[in-house]
Structure 1
Amino acid sequence: MAMNFQELTGLCEAAWHRNIAFVAADSRNCSASDAAGIASIDQISDGGNEQPGGSPDGAPRARGRWFSFLGAGAMVAVGYMDPGNWATALGSGAKYGYQLLSVVLAASVMGLVLQWVASKLGVVTGRDLAQLCRAHYSRRTTIFLWITCEIAIIACDVAEVVGSAVALQLLLGVSLIVGVLMSAVGTCAMLALQSRGQRPLQIVISLLIFFVGLCFVVEIALANPSWGGVLAGFAPSPALLRDAGMVWFAAGILGATVMPHNLYLHSALVKEHARDGDDKSISDAMRGVNIDTFGSLSVAFTVNAALLIVAAAVFHASGHDDVSDLADAHRLIAPLVGSRWASIVFAAALLACGLNATVTGTLAGQVVMEGFLKLKSTRWMRALLTRALAMGPALLAVGAFGEHGSNQLLVASQVVLSLQLPLAVIPLIRFSSDAGLMRHFRIARMPLALAWVCAAMIVLLNAALIWQLATGA
């Protein structure tokens, strides 16, 4: 019995280490540089002292236990529910009712397909997308891809800064400028949780996601939408590529849902899940990763659809189709639904989404910097860098245009993400379908065709957006 107990203990400990390896190394297994506060993604994934074919303490790996691979999907799904989604869903729902629900569904399906491809690439190759780009592309191309990805990360972080600032203004009555500064403090507080290990951060993120979901259950119950209209909205509208406003919001929804840096991040978070490299460990890892990815992104889709449904049911149905600002939505939602709790729940859920989304941008920035350039930095340095770059345009928009300018910046930031997306998607599909890299695990036939269809739809929508902007239609 003693031996069996030791084996069980070893298996549990191995599962624990595998579950947290994608974000933070446990202090007992940190390398000397990690102990000094320098934790690169590679060092985090390596876990410090792990021996080939085993866990850090030499215990056998827990194989075939899908729950040991959970976590990466939830971290990525956080980016699918950031304040940028709120701005695009609010504006599109208020102006066009339920019509753009088809875009939310299509963007969510595309995100699911592409995140699955990204996770498979990381598990099978043991490298993330940025590392593969550096290895297979020229130096000039690598630098170009890195710069465009950094632009996408900054655009995403702008949305998080402004969205959190608006939420703080609505809840506490502070100015937007003060809210922007307070959001930076909130980022530091979220990152400080990692000093106690990964588990506290995971618990907080999970609780915030659950809280956001609960908030929208309340909002939908208060809004009382037309479910017939909701179902009709999932059918694509023929006006989608003709109406300039629809194209703008559709590109924003796409950029807010399928974020380019999330593809880099997901491949990095799972790349150590099958360290043995044999078919069995890869299959076991993919089983758990798929459950994690599909479950987490399904929750993200539900929240995004609920955002648009509430906006359509409350604002569009009452004739307020010009509501595109978060502050205006907060002010109007309570009297329109007849409950003061509606505005409180609205602002609280927005703040929870903004705080949660700070983690994604920081980790993604670290992944792309190390993957493309082999430059390593602490999370604190990376968080300060991205926040400093994001606070500039956020403060400028808030100071120059006030609340309405901040909302326009939110939507524009998501359009920037949409325009950057093909530069991550096309290399991702090429690498994941390469037999030399993926062996018999490469995507082929129907999954490959579906991935290219997603890429084609992204390029088509961006081309339509550029055409609309160029012609002024």
Structure 2
Amino acid sequence: MITSESLGDVHNSVSTENKTGWKKVLSFLGPAYLVSVGYMDPGNWATDLAAGSQFGYKLIWVLLLSNLIALLLQNLAVRLGIVRGLDLAQASKHTYPRFVNFCLYILAQIAIIACDLAEVIGMAIGLNLLFGLPLIWGVSITMLDTLLLLFLLNKGMRKLEGFIITLIFIVGVSFLVEMFIVKPDVVEIAKGFIPANLNNQALYIAIGIIGATVMPHNLYLHSSLVQTRKIDRSESGIRSAIKFNFWDTTIALNLAFFVNAAILILAASAFFGRGYHEVAEIQDAHKLLDHIFGKIAPALFALALIAAGQSSTVTGTLAGQIIMEGHLNLRIAPWLRRLLTRIFAIVPAFFTIMHAGEQGLGKLLILSQVVLSLQLGFAIIPLIHFTSDRKRMGKFASSVWLQVLAWIFAVLIVGLNARLVIQEINSWAADNPSSGNLVHYVITPIAVAIGALLLYVFLRPLLFKHADKPAYIPHGIAAALDNLEAVHYDHIAVTIDFSKNDQDCIRHALMQGGKDAKYTLIHVVETAAARYYGDTVMDNETQSDVNNLDKYVVALKALHYNAEAVIGYGGPATAIAQIVNKSSIDFMVMGSHGHKVLKDLIFGTTVNSVRHKVNIPVLVVKPGKK
């Protein structure tokens, strides 16, 4: 069974044991680099360019502060994933009521759409700058990167990671060369690390920088990805895993900080220092680079922009799957989820181009990063609560000084966001008297409702401490098996989904083979991590599935049947077929999910796909059939 100490018997399959020195470090490297691409997406470019061109080097300290906040929060996410075997969305589902989880999902999904919007705009602008392609066509072409992403996923995670690392390398090298071209003022850069007061415009840009750097959905993503490592579950082993993941996160996020700082320094050196103080548009930055430095600098700028946009699409896609599964327990086909996210991002981009012209895209980019920042409180506050809970985290709960620092950062972010919201609402009401009713009767109530939700998210764990729900079992509890009669066949496979249909499927299998046959019970783990990392994953859902499947095996053995359990990973049809084809299985029993056409389109089909992938008889048992 799954307990509050579920990590005690976790069996991960990416070994980190019996390794020392650099081999030990390298065995933990990986998850943070996939996360870090979200910290250098086109949304960061817009805020960094605006900051550098308007305020010179004066906001570098905001970038540094954002990076420190990101380091702290990402390491809290790592701690949650390693110690409890839960990602942030799953932990929230344990703690908050269903309606609150639905609201948290909606807000997190809005953040993902905002992030994807930045990637759409950045990619379109990059294509326009490099090849002269109209922005409206560039936005349309971004639909195709959905197909590219799915193609790379089908080729395996290593090829996808290699693709991402290549793009990050292109971004880094491009800006390294840019630094040699623009020759920034080192003394002024050093002064930029000294904090200074922020006026209204600087505050807006600063919050955009924080939202672009400390991305809320990356907290969900990181808490899931770290569960792919097999570690020693002793106290020293878990502490070692936390330590090595800390270095993984530190290295990856500091690389992202270098890229962001390079963009701001580029804008400050090339534009602010030459009197161009209003360069908030990426296109303007490209034109000025061409005017000041010739052809090489703007070409590198556009190439890096395209690479940054493409590498960041993975972050939002995977985080979207984790958030949907964690908060709602809803799993749909990856292609459909990716397509819906991209459509929701493309629509505002189209609308902006048609009504505000091409120059409106830069403002939309910065707005998308402010939206990300406004969502931060709903991810940060639960994360701090979960990692501070000594009953759930035991000796690995955050120390007092870490909690204090995390809460200071949380108060800072929420306070700045509250100030910005009040400032913007007052500004809208003052600038547009005709829309005063809209502000007072629609926008203000929504802002108050969101504020009340944030207050509830903060107070719930304090007022109802340790009153969270029993550990969530994704597929239900294994049913009791008794009074089963068997028939014949030598080696029979039975697919298991931990539903009320399992007993009927197993009964039909036993009728075919009797006690002389061997029975292989197959279940496929379909979590986001399982789809990307295959058998190297052992997250909370995998643990519960392994334990539930073992219950069936124990029950069958108690009835003197020869049974074994096999876990598959990723797409159900492919995983089942692979298990069957490499074994000596000569008959298979599957349960029908009973979906109609629309649900088949959304959730995918399994039975028909499996029948075409195997060369043995398949018995399909419909729900409720005897």
Q: Sort the TM-score into its range (normalised by shorter chain).
A: 0.7 to 0.9
Question: Are 2:30 and 1:74 aligned?
Answer: no
Amino acid at match of 1:165: A
Question: Match of 1:270, SS?
Answer: helix
Residue aligning to 1:387: 342
Alpha-carbon offset, residue 193 of structure 1: 1.1
Residue aligning to 1:462: 417
- The whole-number CA distance in structure 2 between the counterparts of 1:124 and 1:55 is 17
Alpha-carbon offset, residue 289 of structure 1: 1.4
Q: Is the radius of gyration larger for structure 1 or structure 2?
A: 2
Question: Are 2:299 and 1:340 aligned?
Answer: no
Alpha-carbon offset, residue 285 of structure 1: 2.2
Q: Which consecutive unaligned segments of at least 5 residues does structure 1 have?
A: 1-50
Alignment partner of 1:185 out of 144, 147, 157: 144
Residue aligning to 1:248: 204
Alpha-carbon offset, residue 244 of structure 1: 1.2
Alignment partner of 2:316 out of 357, 361, 366: 361
Tell me the percent identity.
45
Question: Match of 2:229, SS?
Answer: coil
Alignment partner of 1:290 out of 243, 246, 249: 246
C-alpha change, 1:122 and 1:60, in structure 2 (3 Å) is closer
CA contact (8 A) 1:325 1:403 kept: no
Amino acid at match of 1:83: P
Total equivalences in the alignment: 417
Alignment partner of 2:188 out of 222, 229, 233: 229
Amino acid at match of 2:133: V
CA contact (8 A) 1:68 1:288 kept: no
Alpha-carbon offset, residue 404 of structure 1: 1.3
- The whole-number CA distance in structure 2 between the counterparts of 1:408 and 1:278 is 51
Residue aligning to 1:322: 278
Alignment partner of 1:378 out of 330, 333, 338: 333
- The whole-number CA distance in structure 1 between the counterparts of 2:112 and 2:334 is 15
Which has the larger displacement, 443-452 or 355-364? 443-452
Residue aligning to 1:155: 114
CA contact (8 A) 2:40 2:256 kept: yes
Q: CA deviation digits over 1:55-106, x for unaligned, max 9?
A: 49xx996666332222110011000000000000111111111111111111
Residue aligning to 1:263: 219
- The whole-number CA distance in structure 1 between the counterparts of 2:166 and 2:208 is 27
CA RMSD of aligned residues (A): 1.8
Question: Are 2:396 and 1:441 aligned?
Answer: yes
CA contact (8 A) 1:164 1:350 kept: yes
C-alpha change, 1:175 and 1:62, in structure 2 (3 Å) is farther
Q: CA deviation digits over 1:250-280, x for unaligned, max 9?
A: 1100100001111111101113435764324
C-alpha change, 1:100 and 1:52, in structure 2 (3 Å) is closer
Residue aligning to 2:380: 425
CA contact (8 A) 1:264 1:367 kept: yes
Question: Match of 1:320, SS?
Answer: coil
Question: Match of 1:159, SS?
Answer: helix
Output the TM-score relative to the length of structure 2: 0.65
Q: CA deviation digits over 1:262-316, x for unaligned, max 9?
A: 1111101113435764324423322331121110000001110111000010111
Residue aligning to 2:154: 195
Q: CA deviation digits over 1:343-386, x for unaligned, max 9?
A: 00000000000000000000000000000011113332221111
Which structure has greater strand proportion?
A: 2
Amino acid at match of 1:70: L
Residue aligning to 2:101: 142
C-alpha change, 1:448 and 1:60, in structure 2 (3 Å) is closer
C-alpha change, 1:370 and 1:62, in structure 2 (3 Å) is farther
Amino acid at match of 1:201: L
Which structure has greater helix proportion?
A: 1
Alignment partner of 1:404 out of 347, 359, 364: 359
